[in-house]
Amino acid sequence: MKYLALSLVLCALYSMSHGQCFFKQVPPDATFCKDDVDDTWHPVGSNWRNSQCMDCSCGGCCAAYSTPRSFPEDCVSVFDQQACEYIVHKRNNPSIRCEIYAAVGK
């Protein structure tokens, strides 16, 4: 019984985690914070997207995109840095988009 309870707790914690995020401690007296990727400064309370397609605040950043994990075998996943998204298309014809069965993130 105790292992069942432990496994339920671990499953609940896993579902609340987000593998594509990181968090930072903000000093209580801070008025600005630094984006470590772009070396830019932002006012506390603001939100921005950095050059690595991360949606950020002073408290941390999360990926602004989902990563496809399951799609047809005759397709390929390509990251579009401008749009901050993965595009899944036919391997031999990039104009034909493919269905995504499963993705992680965002």
Fold of 18-63: Complement Module; domain 1 (2.10.70)
How many Å apart are CA 68 and CA 90, to the nearest integer?
A: 14
| Stretch 54-72: mean pLDDT | 96
pLDDT band for position 18 (cuts 50, 70, 90): very low
The pLDDT mean for the chain works out to: 87
For residue 74, with 0-12 CB atoms within 10 Å meaning exposed, 13-18 middle and 19 or more buried, which class applies? Answer: exposed
pLDDT at res. 3: 52
**Half-sphere exposure in the Cβ direction for 44 (13 Å, CA):** 9
Which CATH code for domain 67-104?
2.20.25.590
Q: Is the distance from CB of 58 to CB of 42 less than 8 angstroms?
A: yes
Which of the pair, 64 or 10, is modelled with greater confidence?
Answer: 64
For residue 94, with 0-12 CB atoms within 10 Å meaning exposed, 13-18 middle and 19 or more buried, which class applies? Answer: exposed
In degrees, rounded to 5, the angle at the alpha carbon of residue 17 between the alpha carbons of residues 77 and 73 is 20
What is the domain partition of the chain in residue ranges?
A: 18-63, 67-104
How many Å apart are CA 99 and CA 70, to the nearest integer?
A: 9
Q: Judge if 18-63 and 67-104 fold alike in CATH terms.
A: no
